[in-house]
Structure 1
Amino acid sequence: MIPLHKTPSAELLAKIRRYIAEHLLDVGDVIEEAQCKMQHPAPRPFEEVRERHGIARSPGVHEEPRALGVQPPCLHVGLDGILSRLKSKLDKPKETFSERLLRLISERGMTDAEAYKRAGVDRKYFSKIRNGQAPSAKVIYAFIFALRLNIDEARDLLASAGYSISPASKFDLVMEFCIMEGYDIDTVNGILYEMGMDVL
């Protein structure tokens, strides 16, 4: 049972419901938005006219080099720069979830025990996380509130375990709202309880 003093006000719950109504997307909308962000291939000039008249195209920028057996054309002047930046990013060792979590705990001046107790996680489970076991998104959210992370830190921590805040999930939108407002874990659990969602 959630303590009475942590029960959110009707005004706060109404504010959260408005936030969900404004930001919740249908799964189809999320997919459509992602597809719109993807780069579309460059249009081939006069393609329809050529096909209609049976005119073959001369090899050029818009051709498929492998099919024609010619060398690929130089695409863009800055391609080498882009590739070298991409390579340097890939070469850098990526921080694992457990490494990132332990770093954040240390940066907050907390001990591991303080952090996992605030998050409502037992010592055995925390030991598994420390040794590389990926936790559930709910456990990650519990650590986010226990450590009082800001929205950017929260997104990075979620991403390091392969998760993200989904605009198609009411639960994720409640989490996003609470992170941005800087609520503690007890307040968040009070909100979840009153909204009929599973507490952290």
Structure 2
Amino acid sequence: MEIYRRLAAGNPSAYEPDLARSLSNLGSRLSDVERRAEALTPTEQAVEIRRRLAADSPAAYEPGLARSLSNLGIWLSDVGRGAEALTPTEQAVEIRRRLAADSPAAYEPDLATSLAVMATLTAMEGDPSEALRLTAEAAELYHRRIATTPTLLPELHAVLELQALVLDELGRREDAETVRRWLGENPLPPDSHN
């Protein structure tokens, strides 16, 4: 990391992409070992660098920026900063929506993931109606991709479980039961429970 920092200080255009990738990887590794509070700093630094890079070359750097923003939102939420987590998550959704419009097969699953995270945050912040809208959009995207990417089934299940909870919160018990019935009729394969 320190080597990339020194290299990027001397030649930003050549080494900032590598520095951003290293910072993002460090944040991910820290999160993997349950050190999410520590993961925030390198992830915020990666976002800052990738935002600058994406301003000059969106096609090359927006996917990485969206990934860093999405991670930042998740980790802010994990450390109890849910209201702050909405901003980077909304930015990730905005970027991924644009990317998915140009290349649906490549980016719709990432968009669905960001929408599901945003739905969770929105529900936690007390807006179940918006959370329901977001879960519906995420579920639609996952449904669309399941035939070609069956490994997305656990993500579809997770977003539908959230949708059922939101429906319960809105007093729509019958709709929630319909979602749960679908989940029961379409179980996850045994090897998908990691």
TM-score when normalising by structure 1? 0.22
| Bigger relative contact order (CA 8 A; separation at least 6) | 1
With normalisation by structure 2, the TM-score equals: 0.23
Structure index of larger Rg: 1
> By percentage of residues, which structure has more helix?
2
